[in-house]
Structure 1
Amino acid sequence: MSKHMFRRACAALLCLCVGAGVIGLSGCGSEVKTYAVSDIAYVDDWLSNSESYGEVSTYNIQTVFGSDTMKVQRIHVSEGDEVKKGDRLISYDTSLTQIELDKKELEVMELELALRQAEQELKTVNSYKPMVVTTIVPDVSASDLVGTEVSGFAQIGGSGERDDPFIFVVEDGKIPCSDTFFNGICPPGSDDVWVVFQERNENMTNGVILEHWGIRYRTSVSGMYMSFFDSSEFSVNKPTEPYEEIEFNSGLTAAEISRLRDAAKKRIEEADLEYRVAELEYKQMQLEVDSGVITAELDGVVEFVTGDIDLACENYDPLLKVSDDGGYVVQGTLSELELGTVTVGQTVKVTSWEHYAEYEAQITDIATVPAAQNGWTNGNTNVSYYPFTVYIDGSADLMENEFVSVTYNSKGNLDSGFYIERAFVLDEDGRSYVFVQTEDGTVEKRRIVTGEYLWGNYVRIVSGLTVEDRIAFPYDKEAKDGAVAIEATIDELYAY
């Protein structure tokens, strides 16, 4: 049993024991143990977080990143310098870059091919038609359903013609050979008669066909002649119960095709992302090869210059940054279901896939018209999505056109809340209380506001308690206002 499950089981047991009035954890005198709320809390951020993706656009800022293909010869500016658009910032040797550029170009071509293959795969999946299962109700007569037992032989159909032979069910597979039978199927004037004999299960006229024979009878002045023919087409078991007829088409159900389509779309997203990132890197390297000089793209102030060029190139860190009170902008998309809770001014988290860094940002705009496409999102594909814009200040180290993820709380800026084990909440007269450790080292009985339950033994804390607090087990006989708090670990309570 995992530690988390053990704790939940113990908490439930404590609640039951307390309800029966048979347990009490005692302290020594007026001392009571307290436990960190963070150790017994379940924070539900993950339940309310959504994620979108987008490209970075720069706003009045230029950041030059180092790379392992760049051999910097000189940085021409210092921090605090004012520069004009076109001023030289960095000079570097391009000999190594050309070799790497050729490799990167090949990588871009391979990734583009992979993207096209993924798109073709989706086209193929979209052409699939699901197999259709149809229930057929046979058109059967009353005799087909009831049937009669055969003694000797019994005719059940046919006219004796080649396309409509007589159909006889014969007892135990014995074909009749009497003159009476021959005279019956070959009356005067009949010189060519076709007959199918069938042996059926339990000799019932509606039984399953076990064996069958086709015999052609021809008469002449010299006598009667017999020959065999294939009677398979006249001896097919006729269903009497409803059955399913399957039109296979692709051989896949609609649900299976839908899953294949979702998987193909996911592969396209991943392939497209890899291709676009590689293409961005290729363009950056191409700029390095073309000139050997990086110039200012705007009028501004040099806000940062690295103190270790080699380390910056090795780690792909910024070499310098020029800004005119600038920053970065990213556009993501959010679900129509989140329009009422996600608001302008809300704080979000932006994660750089290039440098694995996280930055705080703010939503500056939410569109009122849905996007033509859902963009990059991990949300519900069956609803409309609306573009929103976030702003990251200039202290972040982001590149023009790089891809980032934007994580936001779909419940808005409100505290997403947390849950604690119900065993730590004292219920009295319809109100909820906890014993909280105060700054002076004692505990106090504090009223809190609770919400819904989670998994039966966790309760949501709406107000009155934070995850930074420490609380006592409320059913300890020493838990009372003014008791001295003795800080303990949660392991001590559950005795791991």
Structure 2
Amino acid sequence: MKNKKVMKRILIIAIVAAVAAGGIGGGVYVQRSKMTAEVQSVSNLNSGYWGDDINSSGLVTNDYSQTVEISKDDEIKEVYVEEGQQVQKGDKLLALDTTVASLNLQGKQLEVENLKNQITIAQNDLKKLKNTKPYVEPSNPVTPEPSTPQVQEMTGNAYNYISWTAVPYNRDSADGSEETPYRYLCTESAYVTGDFLSQLAEEKTYAVFEIRENNDVSGELVTAWEVDGAQIVVPDGNTKWSVYDHSQITDDASDAGDDTTTVDDGSNDAGGYTQSELNDMIAEQEKKIKDLDLDKRKAELEVEKLKAQSTDGIVYATVTGVVKNLQDKDNLPNDGTPFMEVTGSEGLYVTGGISELLLDQVKPGQMVSVSSWESGTSCEAEITEIKNYPSTDVSSYGEGNSNVSYYPFVAYIEDSTGLRNGEYVDLTMTVSGEEDSSSLYIFKGYVRTENGRSYVLKADENDRLVKQYVKTGRIIYGDTIEIKSGLTEDDRIAFPYGKTAKEGIRAVNADESSH
């Protein structure tokens, strides 16, 4: 072929790609019999998760009042107290119709499910927006000839496609060997022609196709496709192979000419959304998801309260004190006035705050550690109430997000020895959501990301490194990541960086490699 003859006169790029069963896309298996990689037992790397601390502060008081509010949907069956009556914590205050309470509970549970569905839809819409190619006014309306590529060869210093005309950016220092392969800088949507890969096989050279941030050689590496020409299964010369995920391109998606994915939602036609418009829509969608998530958490808090009411319909006193401002159950006010208040007459209370993100993890009855600023006295308090609305008057810190709302909670200090009315205290409690028993927590440096998927390098049954894709979760303590699935404590993994961090390398246990 003419192209091949021309290619022989230029530097051939050596890329380390992998050949999976059936084609180029899976990666080339290269024997490196003299190289080994040290592996660690996951059981030794698993740091576990002990929960998060919520830190708050508040003022100790002896005059806290319990407010009993009745919604327009509630029906009061019986009131057990009278105006001015002294009550103890845990006494019955009133009884609600459990039929109505059960219906309210069902309605609120449906609301939670509806909000979950809305969040899922909103998240999918956000994903589409982020993948939508922005509309750009064409600078040259002339239609290219059918015989020329439908995409410009380069965007800045990065190639949009690799053919025989491409030149490695390290041409002055590379020789196409495994140690110094030829390297190409590519855009995220770049592809390699089958002709070029065939020439690599003929020349038996190495090449690396790199995608870097900002399409610049000095940018952080996003992903790299490495190809060993000696190991390539020669493809059809007319095919195209994606640099990003090594798959064969079977349509015209590669002709986009930039780093974005085309989404067939109508926004890519002339008159579609500009990048600025897309940015605004993405920000608006992210805010919508945040608001929906907060509504869901508040509704879930209401569900817990309604569950208690629907069980026996009884509302109990959460403080010891005196009943005040009792309303007529047959003539309820419609201006938001509480049905009654119980003003505390003994014991000490303190009000703290919790982040909206943790509303579903904190419940009445949970214990809080209390520490005095003045005397250093320590004791425990029991959460008796969590308010339904956020407040700027509470102090809470430690959640790592300053853009959230904080909800007041009230805690009763039963043994207040050493504390006095009016002093400030620190409040601390540990919370943790429902953790999957199979979850692991390891140093996040052991996890790499490729094409949006996370993986580790695991030793297989033949003591060879293989890619093991995993499902990850939260990041805690800044450097530890949750592994939800794909890995067990019986597995062994290698640090996925360095010369030996490749599939096929022989795995050696850490304790063996030291001998």
TM-score by length of 1: 0.31
More strand by share: 1
More helix by share: 1
Larger radius of gyration: 1
TM-score by length of 2: 0.30
